Amino acid sequence: MPLFLLFTVEMWERFSYYGMRALLIFYLTKQWIDGGLALDPQSANLIYGLFTGLVYFTPLIGGWIADNYIGQRKSISIGAFLMMMGQFALASSQSFFALYLGLTLLILGNGFFKPNISVLVGQLYEHDRSKLDSAFTIFYMGINLGALFAPLVTGFLAMKYNYNVGFFSAGIGLLIGQIIYHSFSKKLLGDIGTKPKEKNNCKQTSTKENLTDKEKQHTAVIFIITFFVIFFFAGFEQAGSSFSLFTDEQVDRVVGGFEIPSAWFQSVNPLFIVLLAPLLSFLWKYLSGKDKEPSIPAKMATGMILLGGGFVLMFFAAQSIEGSEWQKASLLWVVFAYLLHTIGELCLSPIGLSMVSQLSPPRLASLLMGVWFLSSFVANLLAGYVASLVSSVGPMDIFLMIALVSIVLGLILFALTPKLKKMME
């Protein structure tokens, strides 16, 4: 039940975030008469990348504040309130002031919320680490259950009414999540996360004490794998920028006479996650029982190669319409690319959350969770820059470049796996 509570709270927070994210690139680029801000695609992609990057930078600060001053539980409440106000600011008017105010509040709020709810999941299984990979995979399914329905709801409201109504519905999602959180957290979570620098009944330890040699090795593994993860998410986050614009403009979205709204494609990845996460969770448990479960670095290397495979498909999608002014690519290219990206994500992202929970020194748990999310800060900045090049370089070359980088780095991580496994022991 405690995991289900955190699952539900995270589901509604992700409903809010992904509902807003599905609209953002279109809100920035659509003409003023269509409810947008009429920015050129290059500028819009840079703003999108900067926002999604900073969303993953502030968890480093929020994690440190939780570790040292207010604990995880209060941080989650503060973060949710700030993000809710951010969504309502976006909904308040069609203006650049509302845009920047809303995005700023979302960035700050996410810093308090994101690392600390993941730390709470780790604390639930502190005395049974063998269940962590499966627990985080289920928790990750909650993230993507919210992400699945969000673009459908906000995309429909934006299409039927306007973007402001879509943003407002995203804020309501956060409100629902917090009502549930405050109604049940005391009963189901007890004292977990209520005080800084505390992990269940562990003795408090000063952050100024030196790390042991083994803690240093574990921390080094987190930083090494975080480096590789930067490049995974730089490719993966194209879904909200270059992928969305490519799908909107160059993919045949008509099925049975109905044109699928571009924002709805943001639900394809979370749909696959909801369907596949239980299977992956079962697979890890099954292989663990037979002592054949792949190591964390091996799972992540597999994820990077699968991401590269998805971009190979997108390369062929772009190639299929190269030089044609009227032909559009089949949406099956996009769907199967999302499928490979999703399996890759399940091999990497929830496993990374589990890794940080397992390897972090207790007094640095939220801080190192923030470091993990810092990889997405750098990745999203890089993703925004790469997406901004599509208009000048072309989608075909960009997709091929990302594919090659992802596959090569995945192979390098495979080669480093034996050394990293030894450091993790």
Question: What domains sit in the chain, N to C, each tagged with a CATH number?
Answer: 2-195+212-424 (1.20.1250.20)
Rounded distance, CA 173 to CA 193, Å? 23
Type of residue found at 54 = L
Q: For residue 122, give both structure tokens.
A: 């780790």
Type of residue found at 108 = L
Q: Please state, in angstroms and as integers, the Cα–Cα distance from residue 9 to each residue in 176, 178, 185, 328, following that order.
A: 8, 7, 10, 40
Q: Which residues contact 219 (CB under 8 A, 6 or more apart)?
A: 211, 359, 360, 361, 364, 368
Looking at residue 174, what is its pLDDT?
94
Count of beta carbons in the 10 Å neighbourhood of residue 125:
20
First to last CA, the chain: 31
Looking at residue 131, what is its pLDDT?
72
Q: How many Cα atoms occupy the beta-carbon half-sphere of 191 within 13 Å?
A: 8
Looking at residue 79, what is its pLDDT?
95
The tens digit of pLDDT for each residue in 240-268 reads 888 888 988 899 999 988 888 888 888 89
Q: Please state, in angstroms and as integers, the Cα–Cα distance from residue 26 to each residue in 157, 163, 380, following that order.
A: 14, 9, 18
Instruction: Check residue 258 and report its DSSP letter.
Output: E
Q: Where do we find the tokens 């990979």?
A: 133
Q: Please state, in angstroms and as integers, the Cα–Cα distance from residue 373 to each residue in 57, 199, 383, following that order.
A: 7, 20, 15
Question: Contacts from 92-100 at CB under 8 Å and sequence distance 24+?
Answer: 92/164, 93/164, 94/32, 94/35, 94/37, 94/162, 94/163, 94/164, 96/37, 99/27, 99/37
Rounded distance, CA 357 to CA 124, Å? 11
Q: Which segments of the chain have a pLDDT < 70?
A: 127-130, 133, 197-209
Q: Where do we find the tokens 């597999």?
A: 302
Q: Which residues pair with 330 in a beta bridge?
A: 252
Looking at residue 200, what is its pLDDT?
44
Looking at residue 129, what is its pLDDT?
64
Say how many residues make up the chain: 425
Rounded distance, CA 312 to CA 397, Å? 11
